[in-house]
Structure formats: C-alpha cells, structure tokens
Amino acid sequence: MKLVACPQCHAQYDVADIADETVRCPCGAIISANPPVAVDAAVKRCAACGALVADGEQVCSYCQAAVVRDPVPAGPVCPECYARNPEGARHCTACGVAFLPQPIRRTADPLECPTCAGVHLAARSLGGLWVDECPMCLGLWAPGDVMDRLVERVRERRRRDGKTACESAHRERRAAWQAAVSYRRCPVCRGGMQRKNFGHRSGVIVDWCGSHGTWLDAHEMEDIAAFVLEGGLETAPAQQKDGSWNLPADPARTAAILAAEQLLADERARSNERTQQWTFGPGHPFKGIGDLIAEFLKR
Ligand SMILES: [Zn+2]
Ligand SMILES: [Zn+2]
Ligand SMILES: [Zn+2]
Ligand SMILES: [Zn+2]
Ligand SMILES: [Zn+2]
C-alpha cells in the first residue's frame, strides 16, 4: 500500500499499482501519484483504532490492541503526516488518520445512471468517501467496497453514540416498486450486474458488479430495513455456500441498516407525516440514501 491523500478533500488513494503520474480526485484536484517520503515520528495513537495512547501505555485503553512502540516500519506511510507505520496499521500511529484508500477513477467522464438513460451521476462525498448519485432517481453508486466502508462507518458511529437497537416497526414493504426492476448495466464496464435478493426472499434486489461496485435504488435501504425489522433475517434460509455477497448475513451491515431505519423513523416522526406520504421526493430532508448516510455521519 502506497498512499497519497488529496490536499483538498483528503480522500486517499493507493498508488502502488498504477502507472499514471497523477490521480484525479472527484473533488477536482489532480494529485501527484508519487507517495510521500517517510519520516520517523513518535507513537501517539493506536494503530488499530486511532485512539490516543498515553506515554508508556502497552495496550490501547479503547480497543485493547497492543501498542507497538518500536515497529519494523514495513507498513503504510501516512499520506497526511508522512510518518512510518508498523505493518498492518489501520490508523497512523502519529496523527491517528485512518488508512482508507478508495477506488481510483480512470476517467474524468461522469458515469451514466444505470436506471435513467442519458443521465449522468454526480460525484458526492459521504464521510470522506466518494460515491456517485443520480440527480434524477437519487440512486447511489458506491464504487468498489465503498458501500461496505460506509456501512461500517455508520455502525461505528452508532456504537460510539451508544445507541441500542431500535424497536421494530412493522411496515408494508413496497414490493410493487420492485416489479419494474430490470437488469441493469454496471456504469463503469457496462456489463450486466448481478441481482442479489436480499435475504434470499425479501424481494429487495440490489445490483452488484463484482469488479466495480454496488448500485442501490433510493428506496432500497428502507425496504431492506423493513425486511430486517420484520424478522426476515431470522427466518431466511442459511447463507449461500459459494461465499457470494450476502447482505443480511453480515452483522455490520445489518446494524447499519437498523441505524438507517431508526433515522428514517425519527425523521418521519419529526416531520409528522404519515407513512403513506413518506417519499424520497423533493422537499424532504432525506432525498435518498446519500442524504441518509450523510445525515447519520454528521450526528
Ligand atoms: Zn479531493
Ligand atoms: Zn486502539
Ligand atoms: Zn499520520
Ligand atoms: Zn437515475
Ligand atoms: Zn463493472
């Protein structure tokens, strides 16, 4: 891993395996693909979680990971402060920044929405990660494993806030929305995306290109949340043997979905709207999954 960070938006990119001289960041910055020269720096942060560690502390008081004071510096060089880091570090031991490279975009051309012909997706930063949102249907394209990262962040945030699982709210799923679903093409390679039936029988379909990312319709997060809250996970058949992407089997994802559902429920209560009137339409605070995640990471 050889990381560079965007000076404008601080998005990180791994330039270890790229031939290009520069990396184009969706914020507009052109970043040199030359990784920084490493410097030695005092260990002030936990390499596992980024929490502050006191002088002489042997174990992180937050996550209990061992504090490596004299590392063999074979790990990442911090793209923000240039400190050498021990192998396997997930956070910089000098400044605490998380090492989270995101997929490098090969072209400046905007991607086309897999649902709305001729409509270009707009880049949007969510918690420091770049996704693409359709201004028309508000669907969200999360490149590579960015969706997993977002879900993980929402989950971490939720854990930090000490929120407990929200109470179940039985709602009618809008299965009718799914009736019109057709096979979609990956906005990057134009190949047919795989359709994944969430929980195998929820009727909620997400689209997935194994090489490029995940597409979520604006209403899918809510539908998935409803399925989870109705106990669909417990009654769904066992996990697939082929190890294929299985949304509900991942507790992190499930927790994030529950968190998202709570947000929607809160917002719905605040705006005093009936369920029937709930839409992701214009004028509503949450216009889509992008807004939902952004709002959650803000709290
Ligand atoms: Zn940037
Ligand atoms: Zn820690
Ligand atoms: Zn650093
Ligand atoms: Zn669209
Ligand atoms: Zn693709």
pLDDT 10s per residue in the chain (299 long)? 999 999 999 999 999 988 889 999 999 999 999 989 999 999 999 999 899 999 889 999 988 999 988 767 688 999 999 999 998 999 999 999 999 899 998 877 889 999 888 999 999 988 788 999 998 888 889 898 887 777 666 656 555 554 433 333 323 333 334 444 567 899 999 999 887 765 555 566 778 888 898 888 876 655 655 555 555 544 444 444 444 334 444 455 555 666 665 666 565 555 544 333 333 334 445 556 677 667 656 65
For the CA atoms of the chain, what is the radius of gyration? 21
Residue 205 belongs to what domain range?
122-240
Domain C-terminal end among 219, 240, 261: 240
- Are the C-beta atoms of residues 71 and 93 closer than 8 Å to each other? yes
Q: Which residues line ion ligand 1, judged by CB < 5 Å?
A: 6, 8-9, 11, 25, 27, 29
- Span from the CA of 39 to the centroid of ligand 3 (angstroms): 10
Whether the model clears a pTM of 0.75, i.e. scores above it, the answer is: no
- Span from the CA of 143 to the centroid of ligand 5 (angstroms): 9
Residues 186 and 93 occupy one common structural domain: no
- Span from the CA of 279 to the centroid of ligand 4 (angstroms): 16
- In sequence order, which residues have a C-beta less than 8 Å from that of residue 91 and are 6 or more positions away? 45, 46, 47, 48, 49, 50, 97, 98, 99
Domain C-terminal end among 72, 102, 132: 102
Q: Tell me, what's the pLDDT at 202?
A: 57
* Euclidean distance between CA atoms 115 and 117, whole angstroms: 6
- Span from the CA of 111 to the centroid of ligand 4 (angstroms): 11
Residues 169 and 92 occupy one common structural domain: no
Whether 65 is in a domain gets the answer yes
- Candidates 201, 202, 182, 200; CA nearest to 192 is 182
Whether 85 is in a domain gets the answer yes
Q: Tell me, what's the pLDDT at 119?
A: 94
Whether 113 is in a domain gets the answer no
Residues 256 and 235 occupy one common structural domain: no
Whether 231 is in a domain gets the answer yes
Residues 127 and 185 occupy one common structural domain: yes
- How many domains is the chain partitioned into structurally? 3
Residues 199 and 293 occupy one common structural domain: no
Whether 116 is in a domain gets the answer no
